[in-house]
């Protein structure tokens, strides 16, 4: 299809590593942008080339700090004011997604607020993967392309050629995801039941399903402090599992996460590059394998730009 509106891809500062891979997969150059920093902490992003009349894709995962979200909002606003035809936010990791409901009195619904901010900034569309809760798509008043990292994970699982494979949900909320993988892999499912002492602190845990003699893969959308998967892996090995791996799309890996993983019974932790790893000398990343979602998003961008169906990108 001939296009009057050309495609341009830009990146915010902390997602450039992924944007470069996406642009390379699309065989186009990553657009040039800059950020001016003021001494008081204020910053101002700018496009260093014209975007007038273009379909502009801006790549940015909104992991902490909050500057990443605000830089994306400023970039969207700048593109809109520079007369871009369409402005599409490519958010491999959608931050604040855990605040998707009022689970106790007097709290915010952060995911809805972020959706409102993106709309107010002038965003026309959002692309993301493995939202913490599928219903967050309903918070937006414009199209959301929500794809799953299963298209990246499933080939890797098959390459392991594990016998007696079982997939596990780390909690009751992850049962739907684990069930989808169990159906696609034609293997049994295990559900971990846990109680939390407080946020990010797991109390007791038990497993529902057959664990003994199984090679277990724990599935989740994100790994934050890794307390849950570390406790689950230790518990399953005590119950006679042959091996335990964890697989999660978003490696938030905050606080003591790297230590939890290193000291746990986990044989391997498979994540994607929606969030960059904190590769500092003191972090033990020997158990962590990173798979890229660049091809997934490049294919999605290409199809959306050319008005093609994206239903094949939805494995679940």
- Whole-angstrom distance, CA of residue 227 vs CA of residue 232: 8
- 102 among known catalytic residues: no
- Whole-angstrom distance, CA of residue 39 vs CA of residue 285: 35
Burial 25-40 (b: 16+ CB within 10 A, else e): bbeeebbebeeeeeee
Please identify which of the residues 16, 21, 102, 194 carries the catalytic annotation.
194
Q: Dihedral, CA atoms, 67, 71, 74, 80, nearest 10 degrees?
A: -150
How many C-beta neighbours within 10 Å does residue 53 have? 14
R_g over Cα of the chain: 20
- Whole-angstrom distance, CA of residue 206 vs CA of residue 239: 10
Q: Which residues are catalytic?
A: 194
């Amino acid at each position: 299809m001939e296009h009057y509106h050309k495609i341009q891809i830009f990146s915010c500062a902390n997602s450039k590593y992924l944007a470069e891979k996406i642009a390379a997969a699309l065989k186009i150059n990553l657009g040039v942008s800059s950020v001016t920093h003021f001494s008081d902490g204020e910053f101002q992003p700018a496009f260093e080339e014209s975007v007038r009349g273009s379909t502009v894709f801006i790549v940015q995962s909104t992991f902490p700090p909050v500057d990443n979200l605000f830089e994306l909002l400023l970039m969207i606003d700048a593109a809109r004011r520079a007369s871009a035809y369409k402005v599409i936010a490519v958010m491999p990791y959608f931050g604040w997604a855990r605040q998707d409901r009022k689970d106790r009195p007097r709290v915010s619904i952060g995911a809805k607020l972020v959706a409102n901010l993106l709309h107010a900034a002038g965003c026309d569309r959002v692309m993301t993967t493995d939202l913490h809760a599928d219903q967050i798509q309903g918070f937006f008043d414009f199209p959301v392309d929500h794809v799953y990292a299963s298209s990246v994970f499933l080939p890797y699982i098959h390459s392991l050629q594990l016998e007696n494979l079982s997939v596990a949900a780390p909690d009751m909320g992850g049962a739907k995801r684990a069930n989808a993988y169990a159906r696609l892999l034609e293997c049994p499912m295990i559900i971990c039941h846990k109680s939390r002492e407080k946020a990010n602190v797991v109390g007791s845990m038990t497993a529902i399903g057959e664990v003994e003699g199984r090679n277990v893969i724990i599935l989740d959308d994100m790994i934050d402090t890794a307390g849950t998967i570390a406790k689950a892996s230790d518990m399953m090995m005590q119950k006679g599992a042959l091996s335990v791996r964890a697989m999660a799309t978003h490696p938030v890996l905050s606080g003591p996460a790297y230590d939890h993983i290193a000291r746990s019974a986990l044989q391997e932790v498979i994540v994607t590059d929606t969030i960059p790893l904190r590769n500092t000398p003191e972090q033990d990343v020997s158990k962590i394998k990173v798979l890229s979602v660049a091809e997934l998003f490049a294919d999605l961008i290409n199809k959306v730009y050319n008005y093609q169906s994206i239903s094949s990108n939805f494995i679940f």
